[in-house]
Amino acid sequence: MVACAFTLTFVGFGVAYSFAAFFKAFQVDFGAPRAHVSLVFSLCALLWFSFGVPGGMLADRFGPRGVCLAGALCIAAGLAAAAHAPSLYVLYATYSIGIGVGIGLSYVPSVAAVQHWFTHNRVLAGGIAVSGVGAGNLFVPPLAAWWIELWGWRGAYLGLMALTLLAAVPAALLLGGRAATRAAAAGTTLPGISLGKAMRSRLFWLMYAVAFLICVGFFVPMVHLVPYAQDVGLSEAQGVSLVSLLGLGSLLGRFLMGGVATRLGHARALVAIGAGLGLLFLVWWVAVSYWLLAVFAVSFGTLYGGYVALAPTLCMDLFGPRSLSAILGALYTAAGLATLIGPTFAGASFDAFGSYDVSILGCAALSFAGAGIALAMRGRFDRPA
């Protein structure tokens, strides 16, 4: 179960986070400003977070295998169509929709399936499963950059399509059943509450607000760190390596969060993530050297990975396993809305002012605000790991 979920997240998010390696090629080929290029990724992220809800509901009812298979095939189809896109607008209709829907259908069901299968060390098991996101972020962008040099960006997308068919499709087919299916066969109901009841609770919406505020800035470095690096005099290769370092940090965060959450409690860990992100955006604001940017990338990725590992377990603790996939998918729509805003606004602010200062400082302020809300509500939902 963990290996299958790891593979699905590795391929899906590796494809998505390699977008930074294609950024310059899109600008050159389509003559587009940074805001328009950024929107390709932002729309993709909005869709993958939004489709977590129907994907989760389908997985809760029918099991994750078929849903994840449909997601993997959507990713492959989106890449194949994007490789032949004649304009940026066609990329919106191919890459953004295909990859976004594909990740939405495969991520939440696979991650929630792991939560169903573990009663002890759940944060660790979930962290290992979602470490595929960090591993994909670490290895796929350099691979994509290499393929772009060899075959051009269109050939690189066909290479990523082949990777999806060879790795993600078999992982989806091997994904096991879920506890709810066995419970239904036995005529019993899993403990917990329904999606509707969860969404009528104040606690859900407080968590939603925290997720939105801290996620606005999550993907700004994923999209803009490469062009930022070039703006301060670094090479494109150094910029791509910084995106890989984000992935390395993300990988570390997913493994480390289990121990951190055990010692601090889940809510305190969430507060620390929000505050830490705010501080790191201030580091990015003043960073011009490669090594300071490298420290930022690894540290930022660690906090991002920690949040991704923590969120499913928080939902499991608070709402139970009954509708976990659907509730987790609903919570992730906050991240989708945030991601639609963050990278696109960063690109637009650069086009308007010639720098990323406004967007970086804005992301810092929102991260601190999210930490403040999490701190205020800490007593309402903190649970021992």
Q: Which of 371, 360, 200 is nearest to 274 (CA)?
A: 371
* pLDDT of res. 366: 96
For the beta carbon of residue 166, count every other beta carbon within 10 angstroms: 11
- pLDDT of 19 higher than 70: yes
Yes or no: say if 206 and 377 are a contact pair by the CB < 8 Å rule.
yes
Across the range 4-28, mean pLDDT stands at 90
- 9-23, 280-294, 300-314: range with highest mean pLDDT: 280-294
pLDDT in tens, 169-227: 999 998 865 454 454 444 456 677 888 888 888 888 988 999 999 999 988 998 888 88
Domains in the chain, please, with CATH? Answer: 2-177+192-381 (1.20.1250.20)
Across the range 41-61, mean pLDDT stands at 83
For residue 158, name the pLDDT band (cuts at 50, 70, 90): very high
pLDDT in tens, 75-107: 999 999 999 999 999 999 999 999 999 998 998
CA distances from residue 275 to 210, 213, 332, 363, 375 in whole angstroms, order as listed? 12, 11, 20, 11, 10
pLDDT in tens, 114-156: 877 777 776 677 778 878 887 888 889 889 999 999 999 999 9
Yes or no: say if 333 and 52 are a contact pair by the CB < 8 Å rule.
yes
DSSP string across 274-335: HHHHHHHHHHHHH--SHHHHHHHHHHHHHHHHHHHHHHHHHHHHHH-STTHHHHHHHHHHHH
* pLDDT of res. 190: 66
Across the range 105-115, mean pLDDT stands at 84
Alpha helices in 18-96 (DSSP H): 19-30, 34-50, 52-62, 64-82, 88-91
With a CB cutoff of 8 Å and minimum separation 6, the contacts of 8 are 68, 71, 72, 106, 107, 110, 132, 168, 171, 172, 175
Q: Which of 309, 184, 204 is nearest to 257 (CA)?
A: 309
pLDDT in tens, 248-284: 888 888 777 767 776 777 778 889 999 999 999 999 9
What is the crossing angle of helices 2-17 and 97-117, to 10°? Answer: 150
Q: Which helix (H) or strand (E) holds 384?
A: none
Yes or no: say if 175 and 67 are a contact pair by the CB < 8 Å rule.
no
Residue 249 to residue 78: CA distance in whole angstroms: 28
Tell if the pTM clears 0.75, that is, is over it: no
pLDDT in tens, 313-371: 777 777 877 777 778 878 888 888 888 899 889 989 999 999 999 999 999 999 999 99
DSSP string across 135-164: HHHHHHHHHHHHHHHHHHHHHHHHHHHHHI
Q: Which two tokens stand for residue 369?
A: 């605000």
Q: What angle do CA 371, 373, 376 make, to 5 degrees?
A: 110
DSSP string across 196-229: HHHHTSHHHHHHHHHHHHHHTTTTHHHHHHHHHH
